[in-house]
Amino acid sequence: MKIHNFSAGPSILPQEVLKKASEAVIEYNNIGMSLLEISHRSKHFVDVMENARALALELLGLEGKGYKALFLQGGASMQFVMVALNLLEKRAGYLNTGTWSENAIQEAKIYDDIHEVASSKDANYNYIPKGYSIPKDYDYFHCTSNNTIFGTQIKQFPDSPIPMVCDMSSDIFSRQLDFSKFDLIYAGAQKNMGPAGTTLVVVKEDILGKVSRKIPSIMDYKVQIEKSSMFNTPPVFAVYTSMLTLEWLKNLGGIKAIEKVNEMKSRVIYSEIDLNPLFKGYAVKEDRSMMNATFTLANDDLKETFDTMLKEAGISGLSGHRSVGGYRASMYNALSLDSVKALVEVMSELETKA
Amino acid sequence: MKIHNFSAGPSILPQEVLKKASEAVIEYNNIGMSLLEISHRSKHFVDVMENARALALELLGLEGKGYKALFLQGGASMQFVMVALNLLEKRAGYLNTGTWSENAIQEAKIYDDIHEVASSKDANYNYIPKGYSIPKDYDYFHCTSNNTIFGTQIKQFPDSPIPMVCDMSSDIFSRQLDFSKFDLIYAGAQKNMGPAGTTLVVVKEDILGKVSRKIPSIMDYKVQIEKSSMFNTPPVFAVYTSMLTLEWLKNLGGIKAIEKVNEMKSRVIYSEIDLNPLFKGYAVKEDRSMMNATFTLANDDLKETFDTMLKEAGISGLSGHRSVGGYRASMYNALSLDSVKALVEVMSELETKA
Ligand SMILES: Cc1ncc(COP(=O)(O)O)c(C=O)c1O
Ligand SMILES: Cc1ncc(COP(=O)(O)O)c(C=O)c1O
Ligand SMILES: [Mg+2]
Ligand SMILES: [Mg+2]
Ligand SMILES: [Mg+2]
Ligand SMILES: [Mg+2]
């Protein structure tokens, strides 16, 4: 049975990427050795790293604009720490739109003063705050573009008078944005970019080197840039598989092309949620995420029936996070429109049954 | 042509491990999805993580002795930082036996006072200092069991009056030791344990929680232990492949069995180095590493001939690190005795030619 994989992350990857990655584990490029067995300083792997870094900048439209791309270890959670270590001198402003923003704030507080410029905690994060102001004298402003758990997404980014840092872990490469509005973007690979184990950081070089604290070498963006993202042994397989996914996206037509598909997928799911009386959307409409659609059953008695129907249809990874309950359909780049249609079919079938 | 892979790291892995890892990238355990595509909170992956952690303790003989095993991100270089963050309150003693010790010292100095209890820098690290003393009032003592670059290895560990921390990146699981002498052991996976992208940390719980600084959650060993090594998304593929390698080692008979093979391999290479007048060993004999044999040509004019012969014999990854020059034969667990014999054959063939 074909599985429709709605997992929130690690999540679905393109079949052709999995095939190539699997082959490279046995033998890379006919060199008689696995990709896992060769020196990261060999030309074979240096080319992979450089290609991945270049593709990331190219797809974001950030080539030649003073940005560098890094593939680091530690996950997005390590960036919560590194952002503060590298940029926080006195005070920073954070937009609190959910669990991941909260975590980013908590870790940054270890180093200095953090001010929540706005928060949607009052409504369990079912919306994105608007109309807040960002103080000019802060070191930077931090936001989370897509709230994986609550299913909200920032549609309109503020014009920040200070460096803008964004956690794009769950929607990078999924929609067109003016990425040059941001000074630092980070994203764990395991949603739209590759397997777990590497994190993309795209940073404008001129914001670095302004804090007075000593930064451990491995956590210093300047050092990582100097070392071409190989201060130490990189997570070879995760970088290679991310490179393959970025190549797949480029061949598809880049962000512009995938955005169209993502728009269709989200239209299909949200219209079912709205039209079908058995389901209720969680996030307020204007802030709905194109990546993670969160919804609940109007009547919890139907849960068992619905879950069984989902299972029979091969729909996997649909349970909502415990902070929201209900269901969450994560529809990252590699998920096909067909999988969303399969889900919607089950939802409308439930209506006929109920 | 069969490649004899002497790479210093990332390095050779068992063929059966590569085969299983490759298959899991396409589909894991007949679940209709790749290992890369499933939630790390699913039972499928939680089992992998728990199995890997248990195997590590079992192979080291540390079950039920107050230790916990963690599979973290960031490489051994991140442990240079985490060790200091978690354990350094006032002062620590470090044994300086090479580049990696130097790096560990440099990163720890960011946090507090570091004292080199002894160093072999005076002889470009071709030996292991002995007879030094470890002050009782320091927070911990740090050493590097095997010096990957210089080809030396500690044979006799001191009886430390304070917690003993050891970087075993390049010889973990290769020889029998009383591992309970150590309070914290760390090792990047990419030599004896798996692909690059995860780092094993084995820590005795009772040494933790004694420093006054605030530690970022992701870098706090206590937090990682509480979260069963899943504070955030782990490097799924690297952990799985490490688990497969640990299973392979267990099926082989564990460290005791592989130690015998490693002893044979190192006897074969070092006797050739000693008996063949064209080669000179770099490290002093009593401190020679069983994992990385470093040697030079007595006459550099033979370099081109030797390199061509190596190439023709399919011998790969033999160039020495620039800090030593010459050659380095890395003979990790997965390298067969046959590969070492193939190398030695080329070395003795050179003697007939010269
Ligand atoms: C928006 C966002 N930020 C951060 C994280 C944490 O990522 P990691 O597990 O790589 O630390 C996640 C994980 O799902 C996320 O969705
Ligand atoms: C003994 C030792 N320690 C530390 C390291 C650094 O490891 P990583 O690249 O994982 O940070 C190495 C790498 O070769 C090593 O051999
Ligand atoms: Mg969230
Ligand atoms: Mg409805
Ligand atoms: Mg060394
Ligand atoms: Mg000799």
Q: pLDDT digit string (tens) for B37-69?
A: 999 999 999 999 999 999 999 999 999 999 999
Query: How many domains does one find in chain A?
Result: 2
Supply the angle between the helices B15-26 and A15-26 in degrees, to the nearest 10.
Answer: 180
Question: Looking at the complex, does the CB of residue B317 fall below 8 Å from at least one CB of chain A?
Answer: yes
Could you tell me if residue B319 is inside a domain?
yes
Does the predicted interface ipTM exceed a cut of 0.95? yes
Measured at the CA of B217, the angle between CA A103 and CA B240, to 5 degrees, comes to: 100
Q: Quick one: what percent of chain B has pLDDT higher than 70?
A: 100
Q: pLDDT digit string (tens) for A68-111?
A: 999 999 999 999 999 999 999 999 999 999 999 999 999 999 99
- What are the Cα distances from residue A125, in Å, to A96, A98, A294, B266? 9, 6, 12, 61
If asked whether residues B93 and B237 sit together in one domain, one would say yes
The dihedral through the CA atoms of A119, A125, A128, A131 has a sign that is negative
Q: Please tell me whether residue A71 adopts helix, strand or coil conformation.
A: strand
For ligand 1, atom 2: residue with the closest CA: A169
If asked whether residues A258 and A234 sit together in one domain, one would say no
Which residue range forms the structural domain that includes residue A175?
15-252
If asked whether residues A239 and A265 sit together in one domain, one would say no
> Does the annotation count A248 as an active-site position?
no
Could you tell me if residue B5 is inside a domain?
no
Give the confidence band of B187 by pLDDT, cuts at 50, 70, 90: very high
Q: What is the mean pLDDT of chain B?
A: 98
pLDDT tens by residue, chain A, 354 residues: 889 999 999 999 999 999 999 999 999 999 999 999 999 999 999 999 999 999 999 999 999 999 999 999 999 999 999 999 999 999 999 999 999 999 999 999 999 899 999 999 999 999 999 999 999 999 999 999 999 999 999 999 999 999 999 999 999 999 999 999 999 999 999 999 999 999 999 999 999 999 999 999 999 999 999 999 999 999 999 999 999 999 999 999 999 999 999 999 999 999 999 999 999 999 999 999 999 999 999 999 999 999 999 999 999 999 999 999 999 999 999 999 999 999 999 999 999 988
Domain end (from A225, A252, A279): A252
Q: Which CATH number characterizes residue A282's domain?
A: 3.90.1150.10
pLDDT for residue A2: 86
Catalytic residue positions of B?
Answer: 100, 167, 191
Domain end (from B220, B252, B284): B252
Domain end (from A184, A217, A252): A252
Could you tell me if residue A7 is inside a domain?
no
Contacts of A190 in chain B (CB under 8 A): 233
Query: Least CA distance to A19: which residue of chain B?
Result: B26
Q: In this structure, which amino acid lies at residue A31?
A: I
Could you tell me if residue A8 is inside a domain?
no
If asked whether residues B277 and B290 sit together in one domain, one would say yes
State how far residue A201 is from chain B, nearest Cα, in angstroms: 15
The alpha carbon of A325 is separated from its chain's Cα centroid by a whole number of angstroms, namely: 21
> Does the annotation count A191 as an active-site position?
yes
The 3-state secondary structure of chain B reads: CCCEECCCCCCCCCHHHHHHHHHHHHCCCCCCCCHHHCCCCCHHHHHHHHHHHHHHHHHHCCCCCCEEEEEECCHHHHHHHHHHHHHCCCEEEEEECCHHHHHHHHHHCCCCEEEEEEECHHHCCCCCCCCCCCCCCCCCEEEECEECCCCEECCCCCCCCCCEEEECCCCCCCCCCCHHHCCEEEEECCCCCCCCCCEEEEEEHHHCCCCCCCCCHHHCHHHHHHCCCCCCCCCHHHHHHHHHHHHHHHHHCHHHHHHHHHHHHHHHHHHHHHHCCCEEECCCHHHECCCEEEEEECCHHHHHHHHHHHHHCCEECCECCCCCCCEEEECCCCCCHHHHHHHHHHHHHHHHHC
If asked whether residues B115 and B198 sit together in one domain, one would say yes
Could you tell me if residue B220 is inside a domain?
yes
Give the confidence band of B181 by pLDDT, cuts at 50, 70, 90: very high
Question: Looking at the complex, does the CB of residue A157 fall below 8 Å from at least one CB of chain B?
Answer: no
Question: Looking at the complex, does the CB of residue B223 fall below 8 Å from at least one CB of chain A?
Answer: no
If asked whether residues B223 and B335 sit together in one domain, one would say no
Could you tell me if residue B54 is inside a domain?
yes
Q: Rounded distance, CA A181 to CA A162, Å?
A: 11
If asked whether residues A266 and A320 sit together in one domain, one would say yes
| Best residue among B233, B236, B239 to mutate for probing ligand 1, ranked by most atoms within 8 Å of CB | B233
If asked whether residues B282 and B195 sit together in one domain, one would say no
If asked whether residues A183 and A137 sit together in one domain, one would say yes
Q: Which CATH number characterizes residue B105's domain?
A: 3.40.640.10
- Portion 28-67 of A in contact with B at CB < 8 A: 31-34, 36-40
Give the confidence band of B2 by pLDDT, cuts at 50, 70, 90: confident
Could you tell me if residue A41 is inside a domain?
yes
If asked whether residues B75 and B195 sit together in one domain, one would say yes
Could you tell me if residue B230 is inside a domain?
yes
If asked whether residues A99 and A234 sit together in one domain, one would say yes
If asked whether residues B82 and B94 sit together in one domain, one would say yes
